[in-house]
């Protein structure tokens, strides 16, 4: 995207998968510059965007782009994703934001995913949204020429995660690895799972308001008892 706009990269210094929207509040953070010209932070993806927008950059960015993540961020996974969280932080700070992920791990056809990401950003530059939005985009691992059309989707749902994986550390203590995500339980037409499994790019608009509006009246009645 470097020929579309001035691109400033601020990334975590290491893999922070599953960091979700966590901010580092128990210690100061440091921003360093790599030989590539990219900046990196000893914190979470959310830290990176928060620092950039609230003081590190001299002016606000027009768009926050997060990813391309190595692996899908669909359905319930979006709640844990550091990639989606970085975009969410931009959105919370009033900036349009897009998170991009490749569906299968291994970076296969990363170049195709990059073209899809560029296409969407170009589309945004041609026709900006009326208000800042937050998009979660998942891209099938296949050649660009084989990509189906964009499909606007809702988030599907997964089964419960697999059991934890146990082992022993050198002291003989039991240790636990979080198990893999479960298979999709709600993956029908209209979901992100269905679109990507059909070779189409899934574009899901997200919202941050977690209020369960349909339960408000029920809760008012319960509290009035």
Q: What value does the mean pLDDT of the chain take?
A: 91
Q: Which of 87, 72, 92 is nearest to 184 (CA)?
A: 72
Residue 34: what pLDDT? 95
Sorted by where each starts, the structural domains of the chain and their CATH numbers stand as: 10-157+185-224 (3.40.1210.10)
Of 90, 89, 87, whose CA–CA distance to 99 is shortest?
A: 87
Q: Predicted confidence band at 185 (pLDDT cuts at 50, 70, 90)? A: low
**Res 98: pLDDT:** 98
Cα separation, 49 vs 108, in Å, equals 27
Q: Give, for 32, the enclosing helix (H) or strand (E).
A: strand 31-33
Query: pLDDT tier at 106 (50, 70, 90 boundaries)?
Result: very high
What percent of the chain is modeled with pLDDT above 90? 76
Residue 183 confidence (pLDDT) = 67
Banded pLDDT at 176 (limits 50, 70, 90): confident
- CA nearest 195: which of 146, 150, 142, 141? 150
Are 96 and 64 spatial neighbours (Cβ–Cβ below 8 Å)? yes
Residue % of the chain over a pLDDT of 70: 96
Regarding beta strands 134-139 and 97-102, do their DSSP bridges make them parallel or antiparallel, or are they unpaired?
A: parallel
Mean pLDDT of 166-194: 83
Say what the pLDDT of residue 188 is: 84
More confident residue, 161 or 57: 57
pLDDT of residue 182: 64
Could you tell me the pLDDT band of residue 112, with boundaries at 50, 70 and 90? very high
Sign of the alpha-carbon torsion through 11, 16, 20, 24: negative
Q: Pick 8 or 16 by higher pLDDT.
A: 8
């Amino acid at each position: 995207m470097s020929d579309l706009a001035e691109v400033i990269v601020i990334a975590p210094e290491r893999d922070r998968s599953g960091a979700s929207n966590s901010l580092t509040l128990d210690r100061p953070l440091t921003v360093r510059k790599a030989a590539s010209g990219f900046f990196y932070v000893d914190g979470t993806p959310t830290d990176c965007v928060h620092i950039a927008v609230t003081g590190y950059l001299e002016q606000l960015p027009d768009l926050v782009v997060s990813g391309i993540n190595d692996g899908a961020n669909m359905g319930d996974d979006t709640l844990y994703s550091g990639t989606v969280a970085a975009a969410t932080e931009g959105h919370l700070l009033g900036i349009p934001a897009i998170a991009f992920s490749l569906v299968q791990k291994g970076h296969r056809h990363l170049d195709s995913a990059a073209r899809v990401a560029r296409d969407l950003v170009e589309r945004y530059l041609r026709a900006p949204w009326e208000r800042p939005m937050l998009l979660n985009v998942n891209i099938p691992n296949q050649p660009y020429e084989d990509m189906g059309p964009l499909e606007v989707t809702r988030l599907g749902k997964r089964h419960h995660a697999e059991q934890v994986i146990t082992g022993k550390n050198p002291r003989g203590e039991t240790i636990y690895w979080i198990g893999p995500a479960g298979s999709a339980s709600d993956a029908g037409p209209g979901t992100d799972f269905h679109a990507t499994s059909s070779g189409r790019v899934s574009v899901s608009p997200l919202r941050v308001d977690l209020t369960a509006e349909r339960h408000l009246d029920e809760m008012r009645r319960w509290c009035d008892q």
